[in-house]
Chains A and B, each alone.
Chain A
């Protein structure tokens, strides 16, 4: 079950200015920004939710949260977003340097609700930049390791140079996470797997009857992955995917992100596969 979080009316339509306090270059077109503001406590973002990020004067785009940093007192201090320079807005956000200001609205949408997977195996399958929205889930499970059983993380990337969070991947492996990585196009130095991410499932130690899966990536990749997970015996209700549509208002008012009966910004982005499958199989929906 994914959790629905009601939007906060005061933050629903107005972006607040946040300062970029750090900018880490992840790949040639992807950066991770840490954002801070000076107007009270940070809104309560949860894993799976997204914010509308504004590049002032250009536009705004929905970007999932990829982390929340607190300073040790349990109070969130910084919002973390990993984003890829694709269009005009994301290129402007990507180029924003520390000290620069961007607008933030949110949090919006449903959460991964990883606490509900307590007591089970956790299987996380990420494709490309789909690892970014799953990063808070991985961090939460690693931080509360005793609450969960085995944690398996399977990642597909285009090339080795496109892999996100290389340092964290090593750390998670050291922390006992079973990490599998595969790429579509290896370079000369690549010694890992080559092929689609679903091929890694065959080698994963998974107890299908007692697992919860979290999947994020391009829609086609999620479709194939979810089907492979179902074929392995994981119930569709225990497979969660993150839908992507053209979110605009963020709170279900404008209808831009309608996917059949679902308004992705409000009823998603995280939904279970039992709900997503019939929608994804409708052409042009």
Chain B
């Protein structure tokens, strides 16, 4: 199983910066998991004790809005990572996540990965260097969406009036 996980983790672009030794250590904390369409992966407010490499399929990040149900914030596709609330206390999910279709992932035990990071700062730095670009990219994407670039002047005016 570990060899299989190692192969899949090594092939995933998200951890391309890691050395074989680091990938091997990380693979020890990983387990392949598949989710069916509509299956909830985690819920807002739950304990952030895992993270996932999304290999194929897609996942919706959502948030419960009173009166409007679960609102989709963003979708993630194969080749990226799901979950970073495990990186920092209080280790709680800020959003929920649902598989939008058959989705193949590798799930990692976050507490174990954190322990490895604490025990081996070089490993920890390498892990953070994998996560940081994704965090920056998603922050920039969110900022772009705040700009509402595709809105017509009338739509932009209405949105501004509501805010």
Contact = CB atoms under 8 A, between A and B. Distances in A.
Interface in A43-87: 84-86
Interface stretch (B18-26, B117-125, B146-154): B146-154
Interface stretch (A13-21, A188-196, A254-262): A188-196
B145 interface: yes
Contacts of B153: 86
Interface in B1-52: 13
9 contacts: A158-B150, A182-B75, A190-B72, A191-B100, A195-B141, A196-B145, A199-B74, A218-B149, A221-B150
Given A128-B150, A218-B150, A194 B75 contact: yes
A86 B141 contact: no
Nearest to B101: A191
Given A186-B72, A191-B100, A193-B58, A221 B78 contact: no
Given A158-B150, A195-B74, 14 more contacts: A86-B152, A128-B149, A156-B150, A184-B148, A184-B150, A190-B72, A193-B58, A194-B73, A195-B145, A196-B145, A198-B141, A199-B75, A202-B79, A203-B77
Contact of A202 (B80, B150, B152, B155): B80
B52 to A, nearest CB: 15
Interface of B: 13, 58, 60, 72-80, 100, 140-141, 144-145, 147-155
Nearest to A30: B152
A85 B155 CA distance: 12
Interface of A: 29, 84-86, 127-129, 156-158, 162, 182, 184, 186, 190-196, 198-200, 202-203, 217-218, 220-221, 224
B150 A196 contact: no
Contact of B78 (A128, A196, A203, A218): A203
B39 to A, nearest CB: 15
B6 to A, nearest CB: 23
B23 to A, nearest CB: 20
Contact of B148 (A158, A193, A200, A203): A158
A124 B141 CA distance: 19
Contacts of A84: 152
Contacts of B13: 202
Nearest to B37: A191
Contacts of B79: 202-203
A194 B58 CA distance: 11
Nearest to B60: A194
B141 A202 contact: no
A224 B150 contact: no
B149 A29 contact: no
A224 B140 contact: yes
A2 to B, nearest CB: 24
A67 to B, nearest CB: 21
Contacts of A184: 145, 148, 150
A195 B80 contact: no
A220 B149 contact: yes
B152 A29 contact: yes
A170 B145 CA distance: 26
Nearest to B56: A203
Contacts of A128: 149-150
A84 B151 CA distance: 11
A21 B144 CA distance: 39
A29 B155 CA distance: 11
B150 A127 contact: yes
